[in-house]
Structure 1
């Protein structure tokens, strides 16, 4: 009788153990297929997973671990004109802040890890001088501001050489040999294809094709793995006239009175390039594309002698927090909404940092003219790259 009871007990125990193993296996399989990870901050706050984060919403906080590289080094990548440490500026408190998204885990930027993530890939920043600043910032962040003589200049591979009569090429491209990672910048202020109307006339007007991607992108998009676009500040009548740009759509000059208005033309071009990039993602799903929102400028419209926001050197004078859910750049937000192009939303958080511009310390500044558009480096563009890094 004891033997029978023991046998039944062992049978029930075996069945129970088997059931536990089966349930555990199913749960593990389910977790691997759909992992749910709960991250808690040091303050006990539950953090959102990266896919749910709005990195544009948050606050600036002091961080004595900043800046991420030296403003007196990084001469291999950083232009002297954007290194405020090489100017007469005395206050550098703007360097000692980092951006903390609301309820999100913001990973620390790590240059070596970035290169490992981008192994055998090409990262391209295409846009105006603000994207050039972001590019120089990224190169300094990857290298920690240290000289890297082994990094190879591969600009010629992309046609990035100094044209005859020009001061500099239309961009730069460098390859990190250990990971075969290429990081490049191409200047395209409008993100439109530009084509001389009369090839034989040096003073010819330039057709600005609002519905065509820049020729550089059309040619090299199949070699790009991560693309960061921007445009904005060249969309004004003065710039168009100075560059002799004439709007074209469908291969013909624009006659529509509504479309030739600068705001409408910009919106048309931005939506056009976003749709075109989305079509390229269809052909190459591994392509990751980002459209950076406009970088705010802080020009003062009054009397410079009385000071202005661009002359301010006090961090967070106008607040430190962004609590809005929508982007401050509605044009870019609208353009990417129905595409697989992601928004790199930096406008509102940068708007709070008027003290971090070149201001009167720019090497190119003449008396009475301040650079309230470009940023000191190290500085705000570093944060743009941190957010890019997080979204990757």
Structure 2
């Protein structure tokens, strides 16, 4: 045993010596020949109508759902191209040259060393409980270069913890990540002047969450696909992750693969039903598909463009059932489109068992659908043992003194004015918590921790003048709160083992 420890220490010492020698050589070489830069590598189910309710999981279907824009009031009107007119593609060129070459090569040495240290990470364990993860033997890292360590015999509930000030946030620039980030959500491009909300990270109470790294994420997601399927808040999480992984820098290594998933803009549509991009160096695909209600939508009369749309509450979105075999990680969400105004505006009519449902209670319909989609996905995991599915809880709204259409506002700019700590046992989204209980669908519970961050919404800040007078107290500024959701997602995946 003692001999093994001595050999391990000798090996580490050798690595340190090699690093020192290489560093010396690089410093000397750089001073003599800057050409070295050229060597860098590029509840329960709710019964809507007992006589027609089909209790089996959602059915597979092949029909393509109706194209339906995410038409939240006035917010969508401000969306334009993802490229900002003042954005200069050459502005980041200097980051790739000069003295950063040496730092880049040194980081590669550390990267390789870290890869060796973490090579024994365990595989995913499908038997881990849904709402918590046992983090014994999970390798995590302290900030600012301290040594990695093991968290022993702890159960980590990522939804409990504190918001902590952190000058290492954000992970990307909201004024530069315009290859992925919609202008209307890039608050750095608006007339907002206070951005203190960007400088916080979420710290779980019972464990250290592994620090997010774009390189680490891509390495672990090599040859894999992550799909966000949900509403515009799911789209925000998708855009956030694209910026986090890329560091917000314009990249030529990322290609548009939307056609592989039928995600192309239809004639007359405001936008496509989603986006899919692939990081070619690791063959990692990240995509988003717009499904506001997480159920199958089909026109009652396909030949009539003004036809009512059947919401098949007991069927998954056809996109999900069609491409399920291609996904390795799925993040689902729904919530804010479940109201009478959205139903009337989109001409949605609830169906169960293939026929109109007489129960028109929207809240019960949402409850039933969330349980149905979770139950259906859970039933697919036996045939897809490597698939990991997360259901993300509801993103909170912060309209004060009214709603979006009645003068509601969210003008607070002081971070954590509502508190910084979440310790309560129950979830802030009881419908979602009930749906995932007893299944192998993991729970991404972000409701309570996001509830504390009302200063992080788009609010009244815009690039272009709004035609309507309301404030956006539903969507978030990016960088912002959805970045923490992705950190927690990464932390949960990391705690489960190599992914």
Cα 1:55–1:76 shift into 2, 3 Å = same
The reply on whether 1:177 has 2:277 as its aligned counterpart is no
Which residue in 1 is equivalent to 2:193? 90
2:75 aligned residue: none
Residue pair 2:328, 2:387 contacting (<8 A) in 1 also: yes
Please tell me whether Structure 1 or Structure 2 has the larger radius of gyration of its CA atoms. Answer: 1
Q: 1:311 aligns with which of 381, 398, 411?
A: 411
1:6-155 residue pairs with structure 2 within 5 A?
37=137, 52-155=155-258
SS in 2 for 1:152: strand
Q: Secondary structure at the match of 2:193?
A: coil
Partner of 2:447: 347
Q: Does 2:479 align with 1:378?
A: yes
The residue aligned with 2:86 is none
> What is the Cα deviation at residue 40 of structure 1?
10
CA deviation map 1:256-302 (0-9, x unaligned): x3xx2111100000000001110111111100000000000001235
| Number of aligned residue pairs | 355
Shift of 1:339: 1.0
Aligned to 2:422: 322
- Which whole-Å CA distance do the structure 1 matches of 2:158 and 2:409 have between them? 25
Cα separation, partners in 2 of 1:146 and 1:275, compared to 1, 3 Å: same
User: TM-score, structure 1 length as denominator?
Assistant: 0.86
After TM superposition, the score normalised by the length of structure 2 is 0.68
Change in CA separation of 1:308 and 1:204 when aligned onto 2, cut-off 3 Å: closer
2:361 to 261, 267, 276: 261
Tell me: CA distance 1:40–1:222, structure 2 relative to 1, closer, same or farther (3 Å). closer
Q: 1:15 maps to what in 2?
A: none
CA contact (8 A) 1:128 1:189 kept: yes
Return the alpha-carbon distance in structure 1 between the equivalents of residues 153 and 164 of structure 2. Answer: 20
**Preserved CA contact (<8 Å) 1:47 1:104:** no
**Structure 1 residue 90: deviation in Å?**
0.5
In the alignment, structure 1 segments of 5+ residues that lack a partner are: 1-31
CA distance in structure 2 between the partners assigned to 1:60 and 1:92 by the alignment: 16
CA distance, structure 2, for counterparts of residue 326 and residue 178 of structure 1: 42
Higher relative contact order (CA 8 A, sep 6+): 2
Is the 2:135–2:151 contact (alpha carbons within 8 Å) kept by the matching residues of 1?
Answer: no
| Post-superposition offset of 1:362 | 3.4
Instruction: Please tell me whether residue 279 in structure 1 is matched to residue 379 in structure 2.
Output: yes
Cα RMSD of the aligned pairs, angstroms, is: 2.6
